[in-house]
Amino acid sequence: MSKEVYITKTNCITPLGFDVQSNFKAVLEKKTGVSSTNTYAQFPEIYLAEILDAEIDKHFSKLTSEGTYTRLEKLAILALQPVLEGKQITNKSVLILSSTKGNIKLLQENTAIAEANLGKLAQKIANFFGFSTQPIVVSNACVSGVMALSVAKRMLQFSEYEEAFVVAADEVSEFVISGFNSFQALSNQLCKPYDKDRKGINLGEAVAAAHLTLKKETALVRIAGDASVNDANHISGPSRTGEGLFRSIKAALNEAEIPSEDIDFISSHGTATLYNDEMEAIAFGRSNLLDKPLFSLKANYGHTLGASGLLETVISIEALQQNTILPSLGYKEMGVSQPVTIYTLPKEVKTTYFLKTASGFGGCNTAMVFEKLMN
């Protein structure tokens, strides 16, 4: 019998707010952090969701004035701080970082390339809080954030660790903008997940954090099942059959020992590219989940890469607590071949289980099932 793993505390920092409550309220009110900006000379009038530097520095200066930290390090530390507050870090505590590009901006500043190493970034965050154990870094494209949560859960099940702190962080950079632009994947307006006029993604930045433990007291949710199965199809193009996502959902539901019927809502990936959203719809159809309410938060936050999976899980855990189905900003008219169920306004429904999914380059997919605890 596997050990049960719980999430007790979460946090997030995005252009819409520096804590979960302000972010949840903004999503309910259909606010967006995405706007048109001309900060990047090569990409005039691009739509991005960026956190203001002044806000980051204001919050960080309250925490410490010592040491030098990159913008992303500050964000990661700020996101973790409230989650760690009042907790004693021991040799049974582990830090897990999810990031796709970490401190990649250092490459354009003529610093030694090795300074942008993801392991270094994790160690810096670990040192700030005084972790004595070696941090684990998950870098698995756009599923990283939710996969890090899955890895944390598994570690608590098989290792001697008793608690895990997961932080997922990625920021907007010319590196990722130019890359996604070369893939012709960027939308020149606010993105429209699953909509018939969707034209691609908006890039964004965020950090999210969560505390996982084996203790049920004060827990918000139990992680009921998780799986990450590859498409074995193409390194950048989504599978036409949704094979990997379909298999991931099936395996996660199996572990949770619930039928798809018991899922109350799906917090999907929904990047608003033509092929991703279609692939997801096919996988949800094959999983008998088309009648379950589904939402994408990409028009609120943009695609925040390695942070997105955890950020969206954090917001969804709050939705689960509040018995609320969230609206999908940007969506108007069905634009995928399988009729998924999407709301344009929040809706109150009694909820117990939700499914979180993500998919990314390299053919990766992750699915996780969460169960609400009645405390």
Partner 1 sequence: MNNNFYIKSSVSIKKHKIVLDETEVFSSATDGFTAFSKEAYKNFEINYPKFFKMDNLSKLAFLGADLLLKKQGLNATDNDIALILANKSSSLDTDATYQETIADKENYFPSPAVFVYTLPNICIGEISIKHKLYAENSFFIFEDFNPKFLKEYSEFLIQSKKTTQVLWGWVEYFKKDYQATMYLISKEGKQVHSLENITKIYTQ
Partner 2 sequence: MDNLKLELKTKIIETLNLEDLSVEEIADNDPLFGDGLGLDSIDALELIVLMDKDYGIKLTDPKEGKSIFQSIQTMATYIEQNRTK
Residues near partner 1 (CB under 8 A): 2, 41-42, 100-101, 104, 107-108, 113-114, 116-120, 122-123, 134, 136-141, 147, 151, 154-155, 157-159, 174-175, 178-179, 181-183, 227-236, 243-244, 247, 251, 361-364
- Pick from partner 1, partner 2, none: which does 237 bind, CB < 5 to 8 A by kind? partner 2
How many residues touch partner 2 (CB under 8 A)?
A: 7
- Pick from partner 1, partner 2, none: which does 43 bind, CB < 5 to 8 A by kind? none
Distance separating alpha carbons of residues 172 and 56, to the nearest angstrom:
14
Residue numbers 233-252 binding partner 2 by CB under 8 A? 234-237
Tokens of 52: 């203001």
Under the binding rule (CB under 8 A), the answer on residue 110 touching partner 2 is no
- Pick from partner 1, partner 2, none: which does 159 bind, CB < 5 to 8 A by kind? partner 1
Tokens of 326: 């969230």
- Pick from partner 2, partner 1, none: which does 345 bind, CB < 5 to 8 A by kind? none
Exposed, middle or buried by CB within 10 Å (0-12, 13-18, 19+), for 251?
middle
Please name which of 105, 231, 243, 129 lies closest in space to residue 178, comparing C-alpha atoms: 105
For partner 1, give the closer residue by CB, 132 or 218: 132
User: How far are the Cα atoms of 14, 21, 216, 348 from residue 322, in angstroms, in the given order?
Assistant: 21, 11, 20, 8
For the bound state, the minimum distance from the C-beta of residue 114 to partner 1, rounded and expressed in Å, comes to 7
Distance separating alpha carbons of residues 145 and 103, to the nearest angstrom:
16
For partner 2, give the closer residue by CB, 40 or 275: 275
- Pick from partner 1, partner 2, none: which does 129 bind, CB < 5 to 8 A by kind? none
- 209 pairs with which residues across the strands? 11, 167
Under the binding rule (CB under 8 A), the answer on residue 42 touching partner 2 is no
For partner 2, give the closer residue by CB, 142 or 314: 142
**For the chain, what is the largest distance between any 2 Cα atoms, rounded to a whole number of angstroms?**
56
C-alpha dihedral, 245 to 269 to 195 to 18, nearest 10°: 170
Distance separating alpha carbons of residues 252 and 271, to the nearest angstrom:
22
Residue numbers 182-201 binding partner 2 by CB under 8 A? 182-184
- Pick from partner 1, partner 2, none: which does 285 bind, CB < 5 to 8 A by kind? none
Please name which of 221, 218, 215 lies closest in space to residue 322, comparing C-alpha atoms: 221
User: Please, which residues have CB within 8 angstroms of residue 274's CB and are 6 or more apart in sequence?
Assistant: 198, 200
Distance separating alpha carbons of residues 123 and 111, to the nearest angstrom:
18
For partner 2, give the closer residue by CB, 31 or 199: 199
For the bound state, the minimum distance from the C-beta of residue 156 to partner 2, rounded and expressed in Å, comes to 39
Positions touching partner 2 (CB under 8 A) are 182-184, 234-237
